[in-house]
Structure 1
Amino acid sequence: MSVQNVLDLIKENNIEWVDFRFVDLSGRAHHISLPASEVEAETFQNGVAFDGSSIQGFRGIEESDMVMVPDTESVYIDPFTAHATLIVMCNIHTPDGERYERDPRSIAQKAEEFLQTAGVGTAAFFAPESEFFIFDDVRYESTTNSSSFSVDSEEAFWNTNRKEEGGNLGFKVRQKGGYVPVAPVDSQQDIRSEMCRLMTEAGLRIERHHHEVATAGQAEINFRFDTLTKTADNLMKYKYIVHNVARQYGKTATFMPKPLFGDNGSGMHVHQSIFNGDTPLFYEKGGYANLSETAIHYIGGILYHAPALIALTNPSTNSFKRLVPGYEAPVNLVFSKGNRSAAVRIPVAAVTPKGCRIEFRTPDSTANPYLAFAAMLMAGLDGIKKKINPTELGYGPYDKNIYDLSDEEKKEIRSVPGTLDEALDALEADYEFLTEGGVFTKEFIDNFIDLKRGEAKAVAIRIHPYEYGLYYDC
């Protein structure tokens, strides 16, 4: 879309405000709104100034001036504002016009550029399956003398005896019993459909929605794949709509990986493939799961670099409450066709040559999508470049339920890091694949590690309520 097209869109839709947005290191969006009457062609060329020192992980106060440069391909009308508002995603530049090396969106674009210069293909396609919970109430605190959290949902199994409904209506979702039931057990059909309606109006192509496995309102909505940066933009749009539709219904939505103990967590399974023009590069009839050698090497790169990669795809302390051996999350660093217990799964049901892809199942939605997708692509490209054979390195294929293996057999399988600190250690030791072509910089990685170690330390030094049960009577 040209700048003139955007200006015409503003006029035709009586837009009052233009909302310029950027994304910080954690993946949270920030925005500044300008009156539509003040937005001209020069605005898209010169950008919108903001204070980078007020954004965690960006710049110091002595060099705080930064610029949002709008991307006209990313616009959509905000479905929630009372005053007609157009949303525009932006890249971050320094005042002298240079790309800012800590801008996640620019890193995603550099990864796409590197793919083309590497001579492998012309485009990488991504499709995340981002799960979330819809709760009715959330409360939490962490102070000097108190630490607690509490969430509630009218459909949760622990509410079979709740009286606040004015007569309990039953039909609660059993623990780990929420996968695709019909109403009235699934009480959130309409809210998910409303989310999908607004996503469609905002430009997403919705493929399906359903209730997920956990009790208390776990959900999933799938949208159509696209190229790397566009998919990251779409995921930001997706999360914005999910959060705000839930709010309109008097509920609250979270993409936190593990908000409930003892039930399934929320992952973000990421489907990915590479094309050269219209030719899919991951398909070869007769190969394992009809995968090409290029795809096998891409898998090799993902699994070989997985410990470091996970610092970017699962970058929260809560991520590792989900990534626990023996539970539902795929912690086993192996690949397999159709097997959901493997970290890398190759879908085989109703797959065409153009639909041939690999699915990395370990990530979750605390990831910044621009950084996570870029890192996955760089790991896969390193595997292709170095012809990393995952079978020779002991990564499978494993075409059986890994959870049912004996303890001796499980010892042969590598697992993901057990904590955020371990993942950051791995990234510190293995980052060169990310800095190929200047996609990520060493300075960016060091800054990211420092930021995340601060989060890990903040959690580690705080007193956990469960410790009172373990140790109070010592």
Structure 2
Amino acid sequence: MEREEILKFIESEKIKFIRLQITDINGLLKNVEIPWDELRNSFEKGTMFDGSSIEGFVRIEESDMYLKPDPSTFTIYPWTDKGYKSARLICDVYNSNGTPFEGDPRYRLKLALDNLKKNGFSAYVGPEPEFFLLPKDPQTNKPILEFLDNGGYFDLLPIDQGEETRKDIVLALEEMGINVEASHHEVAPSQHEIDFTYDEALKTTDNIQTFKLVVKTIALLKGLHATFMPKPFFGINGSGMHTHLSLFRDGENTFYDPKKPFEVSDTLKFFVGGVLKHIKAITAIANPTINSFKRLVPGYEAPVNIAWSQSNRSALIRVPASRGNGTRIEVRSPDPTANPYLLLATLFAAGLEGVKNNIEPPKAVSANIYHMTPEERDKVGIEQLPSNLKEAIDELKKDNLMKEVLGEHIFNKYIELKEREWKEYSINVTNWEINKYLWIM
């Protein structure tokens, strides 16, 4: 809908409140609520807010900033129909002088997509975010680190709280205009996945943020806690966000070439070459928390080896079997704590560099990399991802393309935040240390 259509719809539907949403540098949703009759002014002039109070935005002396709603993101919250309705709009962030804010993650993705467009491409994305549903203590209302079920991949469980919650999440997503393709139990107990339609990159990225909000809200209404923490439990699979990417030109998928081996185009191969060239630095964005690297370990289906393959799930990047307009690559390292705007900006920028410069990827690996010895991996030139957040940030610091894509503001702020996080972690005394050393040392 256009602006005037939205304003008329809001009045006719008696929608009382509008939530204006943005995403901070850490990928967390923030919002301000305005009465419905203030929306016209917000469309025309923007809604002022204090940018110094948002993580990674601006200093206090530069704090006056504006939210400008994107009409294409209008949707009604399906859980707010008890006497009143609320709707939401995702916003772009502007400086007080009317220019786009360089540190807005959504703006960084827009710039990356504009660069693709200048080179004749349009970008499409399909994410697979996973999450855990946990019980809550009825007295403290805090999550309990226990399983709701003992199910596994694709299990058809008895109808239980987790299964019912997942169904309600799907219904809410559909009501908000997000087309769900599949939902199922994942490999680990209490772990779930809901996949939505492969679509244009900016729209899909907005949908990832909406998805996270819906999952957490519906779980809360069901008396549960939903977490996208990559590895809440030791000894079982963690939660990833496998990310499917493709480039189109004039309505045709440029990753598909029926005349090439495996029907995979040179564009796809060069795109993979670019991503693999920068993947160590991208890891700081794709896996942005201390806990992210507890998932990226051998033995739990998470990729740790820098390689690509035709369909081989042990590789970091694989090419699923679908061909024609369904031809795509699947980047398997990201997890759902990643800021999706920054993640896709960096992935597409790295891929485009590969396409423009004909960067050949290493030879595709068909063997199960998980079963290869270190010597066998070295022989075919398979390196490994950074093993912790500090290593990933050190790689990010060295990557000039990532600095350009993220912009100086986000690049410097992000490194500052993550180095602080690493320092806090490094000096913290953990339960593991207490259990390991207290009684024997």
TM-score, with normalisation over the residues of structure 1?
Answer: 0.88
In the other structure, the counterpart of 2:67 is 68
- The aligned counterpart of 2:356 is 385
The alpha carbon displacement at 1:406 in A equals 2.7
Letter paired with 1:206: V
Partner in structure 2 of residue 89 of structure 1: 90
Which of 425, 429, 432 in structure 2 is aligned with 1:463?
Answer: 429
d(CA) in 1 for partners of 2:370 and 2:315? 10
Q: What residue number does 1:168 align with? A: none
SS at match of 1:441: helix
Q: CA deviation at 1:59?
A: 1.2
Deviations 1:128-162 (A, max 9, x none): 100000011379xxxxxxxxx9502332xxxxxxx
Contact kept, 8 Å, 1:46 with 1:69, in 2: the verdict is yes
Residues 1:150 and 1:206: Cα distance change in structure 2 (over 3 Å): closer
Summarize the alignment of residues 160-171 of structure 1 with structure 2, pairs less than 5 Å apart. none
CA distance in 1, matches of 2:116, 2:182: 30
Q: Give 1:296's aligned residue.
A: 269
What count of residue pairs does the alignment treat as equivalent? 433
Distance 1:154 1:324 in 2: 25
Q: Distance in 1 between matches of 2:94 and 2:109?
A: 15
The one-letter amino acid of 1:51's match is D
Task: Report if the CA contact (8 A) 1:378-1:434 is conserved.
Answer: no
Q: Tell me, which stretches of 5 or more residues in structure 1 are unaligned?
A: 140-148, 156-171
Percent of counterpart pairs with the same letter?
A: 38
1:433 deviates by 5.1
Q: Name the counterpart of 1:162.
A: none
- Shift, 1:37, TM fit: 2.2
The alignment partner of 2:406 has SS state of coil
Q: How far off is 1:69 after superposition?
A: 0.8
Contact kept? 1:51, 1:64, Cα under 8 Å: yes
Q: Deviations over 1:16-56 (max 9, x none)?
A: 1111111100111111111112322x320211111111112
Cα distance between partner residues in 2 of 1:401 and 1:286: 27
- 5 Å-filtered alignment, 1:254-269, equals 254-269=227-242
2:8 is aligned to 8
Greater than 4 Å deviation, 4+ residue runs: none
User: Contact 2:66 / 2:94 at 8 angstroms: preserved in 1?
Assistant: yes
The 2-side partners of 1:29 and 1:405 are apart by: 41
**Using the alignment, how far apart are the partners of 2:338 and 2:353 within structure 1?**
21
Distance, in Å, in 2 between the alignment partners of 1:458 and 1:407 is 32
Give the 3-state SS of the residue equivalent to 1:188 in structure 2.
Answer: helix
The 8 Å contact of residues 138 and 152 in structure 1, kept in 2 or not, is answered as no
* CA distance, structure 2, for counterparts of residue 261 and residue 428 of structure 1: 31
Range with greater deviation from structure 2 (400-409 or 108-117): 400-409
Structure 2 residue ranges without an equivalent (≥5): none
TM-score by length of 2: 0.95
Show the counterpart of 2:166: 192
Q: After superposing the two structures, state which structure 1 stretch, 233-242 or 464-473, moved more.
A: 464-473
Residue by residue over 1:414-455, the C-alpha shift from the partner in whole angstroms, topping out at 9 and shown as x without a partner, is 1100111111110100132551xxx43233211111111111
Q: What is the aligned partner in structure 1 of residue 408 from structure 2? A: 442
Looking at structure 1, the residues matched to 10 and 159 of structure 2 have their Cα atoms a distance apart, in angstroms, of 43
For 1:433 and 1:446, how far apart are their aligned partners in 2?
Answer: 11
| 2:148 paired residue number | 154
Q: 1:310 aligns with which of 259, 277, 283?
A: 283
- Within-5 A mapping of 1:219-230: 219-230=192-203
Shift of 1:110: 0.9
- Please name the residue that 1:52 is paired with: 51
Relative distance call for 1:314 and 1:449 in structure 2 (3 A) is: same
Structure 2 residue matching 1:264: 3-state secondary structure: coil
Shift of residue 368, structure 1, vs aligned partner: 0.6
> Does the Cα contact within 8 Å between 1:424 and 1:449 map onto a contact in 2?
yes
Confirm or deny: 8 A CA contact 2:350 2:401 kept in the other structure: no
Give the C-alpha shift of residue 79 in structure 1: 1.6
Q: Is the Cα contact below 8 Å between 2:134 and 2:144 reproduced in 1?
A: no
Residues 85-135 of structure 1: per-residue CA shift (max 9 Å, x gap): 110000000011011011001111111111112x241x1001110000001
Three-state SS of the structure 1 residue aligned to 2:307 is strand
Secondary structure at 2:333's aligned position in 1?
Answer: coil
* SS in structure 1 of the partner of residue 131 of structure 2: strand
Alignment of 1:202-217 (within 5 A): 202-215=176-189, 217=190
Specify the alignment match of 1:144 in structure 2.
Answer: none
> Cα distance, 1:346 vs. partner?
0.5
SS at 1:299 equivalent? helix
Asked whether the 8 Å contact 1:302–1:383 carries over to 2, the reply is yes
Does 1:356 pair with 2:355? no
The 1-side partners of 2:373 and 2:22 are apart by 48
After TM superposition, list the pairs within 5 Å mapping 1:409-428 onto structure 2.
409-411=376-378, 412-428=381-397
What is the alpha-carbon distance in structure 1 between the residues aligned to residue 60 and residue 345 of structure 2? 29
1:213-272 CA-partner distances (Å, limit 9, x unpaired): 001x10000000222211111011111111011111111100110000000000000000
Given the alignment of the two structures, is residue 373 of structure 1 paired with residue 341 of structure 2, yes or no? no
- Report the Cα distance in structure 1 between the residues aligned to 2:260 and 2:403, rounded to whole angstroms: 29
Report the alpha carbon displacement of residue 361 of structure 1 after superposing the two structures with TM: 0.3
Q: Provide the C-alpha distance between the structure 1 equivalents of 2:137 and 2:309, rounded to a whole number of angstroms.
A: 38
For the residue of structure 1 that corresponds to 2:341, the secondary structure is: helix
